[in-house]
Chain A
Amino acid sequence: MADAEGSEEDASLAARAAEAVGGVVLEALETAKVGVAADRWAEALRVARDDLGLSFFSWLSAVHWANDPQVGDALSAEVTERFELLCALSDVTAGELVVFSTDLEATDPSIDSLIDVFPGADWHERECREMFGITFAGHPRPENLYLPNGFVGHPLLKSFPLLSREVKPWPGEVDVEDMPEVMEGG
C-alpha cells in the first residue's frame, strides 16, 4: 500500500526534523531520514527527543560503505569508504519515525555515546562497537556483547570475510534447476 500520501507525510516529517536539529533531509523510501554532523550527534538527538517528541529509542546501527567487499556484491558505483551511523527514533502516539544519520571516517571512527540521552542506546552501541569497530566516547561498558572476549576483527565490516563461504563456496546456481511442470501433491 505504497501510496503517495504516505510519502508526502514522511517528506514533511523529515523536513520538520531536519529544521529542528539543524540537519539535511536525506533520501529514503517512505522513511524520514535526516543527516546531521557527527560533532552534533548527541545534541541533535537530544533536540529530537525534547522538541520533536521522538522519545522512543528504536535502534542504532551502522552501514560500512566500502568498495571491493569480501562478501556480497560490489556497489554499482565507487564510494568514499566511510561509516554511516544510523539511529531511529519514534514517538509513541502517531507512530512517526525518523532515521538520523551521520558519516564517520573510515579509520578510527569515533563519536559521542548517546547513553546520557537514551539509556536504551547502551546495548546497541556495544553491538555497533564490536561489529564495526566504532568507538563510542563516554560509554561506561565498552565490552563485547555477542563475540567472545579477545575476538579479533569486526564481523560486519565489508572487508571481513565470511569464513564458512571461504571454506566451502556456496553452491548457488548449481542447485537451481527448472521446476517440474507437474508437482505431485502429498
Chain B
Amino acid sequence: MTMAPDMVRHLSGAAVSVELETPDMTLNIGPQHPSTHGVLRLVAKVDGERAFDVQPVIGYMHRGYEKLSEVRNYPQITALINRIDWVSGYANEIPFMVAAERLMGVEPPDRAQFIRLILTEMARISSHLIFQASYPLELGAATPLFFALRDRERVLDLIESVTGGRFHPNFNRIGGVKPAVGAGPVTRKTIQDLPAGFLSETRDAMDQVLSTADQLEDLVAGNEIVLARTKDIGVIPPEVAISYGVSGPILRASGVPFDLRKVSNYLPYHLFDFEIPTGENGDCWDRWWIRLEEIRQSASIIRQAVDSIPSGPLQAKVPRIIKVPAGEIYVRAENPKGEMGYYVVSDGGLGPYRLKIRSASFSNISILPWVLEGTLVPDIIAILGSLDFVLGDVDR
C-alpha cells in the first residue's frame, strides 16, 4: 500500500512543527476482563504507555450481606458468609462462629477445633493454589496451572468428603462442627465423625502438595520472563500497606511479619510449629513467593494437626434454639487473603442487630490507585494478579 504524497508531507510536517506529545486517553478495563478475577472495572488515564489516576469501580457483586444478616438468625448466616470469598469459603465461617460462640460462652470441643483448623488450612492451600495457577497464566505461562489445579482438586475432594461441599461447606455449627453423613444409615443418636480414611488420605495429599510446591518453584522461579515481569514491579512499602489496611500475604510480602494465627487465639494455632514467611521488596515477585511458601507452611500445619488430633465429641452442648446474649465483639482471623473479621452487635435475639463484615480484599484493593499510579499498562495486569483478590470478598 502506498501513501498519498500530500499525506506523507502532512505527517512529516506535523512531526517537525508540533512538539511530540501524546494526548491523555481514558482506558476502561473491565468489568468483564478475565484478569480482574471477577467484575472489577478500572478507569485509567493513559499517557503513552503509562497509566495515571487509576480509579477502581466496584460494586458489581454487592449482595448486601450486612443487611441480609439483620433478618436472619445465627445458623442461617453461615450459609451467606461462606459466599463472601468463594475461593476459600470455609475460612470465612470461622471468625463469625467464634464471635457468636464467645458471646454465648460456648467453647467447641478440642476435636472440633482441630477439624476447623485442618479445614481452614486446606482452604488456604486451595486459595493459594488458585493463585499459583492463575498468576503465571496471566503473565503468559500456562503450565503451572495444570499442576496447581490438579492438587487443588485433591484438596477440595478432601474438604468435600468431610463437609459435603466443595466451595460452600456451611459446615460449622455454633459449638462445634457437623460432618456430612457418611456411608450407611446414621441415626441422630450416632456420633458423626470424620469419614474413614480421611486422616491417612490427608497425609498423602499433603505430601503431594509439598512436592508440587517444589515443581511450581522449579517451573516459575527460574523463568526469566516471569522475573522480568514481576521483580521490582508494583512495590508496596510496608508503611503504605499498613496505612491502607492491606493485610495477609501482601503485607507480609512488604516485610511485615504479622500473622493473626500467631497473635490471636481463634483456633489453637499455638500448638503447632510454623513460620511466617516475609518478603524483602514488597513487589509482585515477593507476593508470588509468599503464597508458595505459605502453601508449604499450611501443609506442615495440617500434617502436625492430623498426627495430634484428639478424640472426643464434635459438638458442645448448646440450646436447641440459638439465642446470643446481648453484647458486642470483634473477632478477626487470618484468612488466605488477609484479615477477615466480624463485628457482631447482639441484642439478645435470634439474629444480630448489626453485623459488620471486614473482608480482606476490600482493603487490599483500596490501595490500587496508589500502587498503579504511573505504572506501565502491561504491569497493571501483573499487579492486579499479584494482589490475589476475589470480587465477592471486595463487595460482600
Interface residue ranges, A against B (CB under 8 Å): 1-2, 6, 27-31, 33, 55-59, 61, 63-64, 69, 71-73, 75-76, 86, 88, 92-95, 97, 99, 118-120, 122-123, 131, 144-147, 155-156, 160, 162, 165, 170, 179, 181-186
Q: Answer whether A162 and B68 are a contact pair too, CB < 8 Å, given A1-B265, A59-B341, A73-B351.
A: yes
- Chain A residues in 8 Å Cβ range of B326: 76
Contact A162 B71 (CB under 8 A): yes
Contact A73 B260 (CB under 8 A): no
Contact A179 B188 (CB under 8 A): yes
Contact B243 A123 (CB under 8 A): no
Chain B 338-366 interface mask (CB, 8 Å, partner A; 1/0): 01010101011111011010100011001
Contact A146 B67 (CB under 8 A): no
Q: Closest CB-CB distance, A137 to chain B, in whole Å?
A: 20
Interface size on B, residues (CB 8 A): 64
By secondary structure, the A interface counts as loop
Contact B185 A92 (CB under 8 A): no
B376, CB-defined interface residue at 8 Å: no
Q: Answer whether A61 and B186 are a contact pair too, CB < 8 Å, given A73-B350, A119-B244.
A: no
- Chain A residues in 8 Å Cβ range of B341: 58-59, 88
A27 to B68 alpha-carbon distance, docked (Å):
26
- Chain B residues in 8 Å Cβ range of A72: 70-71, 349, 351, 353
Contact A31 B370 (CB under 8 A): no
Contact A58 B358 (CB under 8 A): yes
A179 to B370 alpha-carbon distance, docked (Å):
54
- Chain B residues in 8 Å Cβ range of A94: 263
A98 to B197 alpha-carbon distance, docked (Å):
44
Contact A86 B356 (CB under 8 A): yes
Interface residue ranges, B against A (CB under 8 Å): 58-59, 62, 64, 66-68, 70-71, 102-103, 105, 107, 181-188, 239-240, 242-247, 251, 256, 258, 260, 262-265, 268, 326-332, 339, 341, 343, 345, 347-351, 353-354, 356, 358, 362-363, 366-367, 370, 395
Contact B188 A28 (CB under 8 A): no
Contact B366 A183 (CB under 8 A): no
- Chain A residues in 8 Å Cβ range of B188: 179, 181-183
Q: List 23 A-B contacts (CB under 8 A).
A: A1-B107, A28-B328, A30-B331, A55-B242, A55-B243, A56-B247, A57-B363, A59-B343, A71-B70, A71-B71, A72-B353, A73-B347, A86-B343, A88-B343, A92-B242, A118-B244, A119-B240, A120-B243, A120-B245, A120-B366, A160-B67, A184-B185, A185-B181
Contact A165 B71 (CB under 8 A): yes
A184 to B186 alpha-carbon distance, docked (Å):
7
Contact B244 A63 (CB under 8 A): no
- Chain B residues in 8 Å Cβ range of A75: 347, 353
Contact B258 A93 (CB under 8 A): yes
- Chain B residues in 8 Å Cβ range of A185: 181-186
A160 to B66 alpha-carbon distance, docked (Å):
13
Report the nearest B residue to A94, measured CB to CB. Answer: B263
- Chain B residues in 8 Å Cβ range of A147: 59, 62
A105 to B244 alpha-carbon distance, docked (Å):
28
Q: Closest CB-CB distance, A132 to chain B, in whole Å?
A: 11
Contact B329 A57 (CB under 8 A): no
Contact A63 B243 (CB under 8 A): no
A122 to B243 alpha-carbon distance, docked (Å):
11
Q: Closest CB-CB distance, B113 to chain A, in whole Å?
A: 8
- Chain B residues in 8 Å Cβ range of A93: 258
Contact A61 B330 (CB under 8 A): no
A37 to B188 alpha-carbon distance, docked (Å):
54
9 closest cross-chain pairs (CB), A and B? A95-B263, A146-B59, A120-B244, A57-B245, A120-B245, A72-B70, A92-B258, A146-B62, A59-B358
A118 to B366 alpha-carbon distance, docked (Å):
12
- Chain A residues in 8 Å Cβ range of B62: 146-147
Report the nearest A residue to B267, measured CB to CB. Answer: A1
- Chain B residues in 8 Å Cβ range of A30: 102, 329, 331
Q: Closest CB-CB distance, B38 to chain A, in whole Å?
A: 14
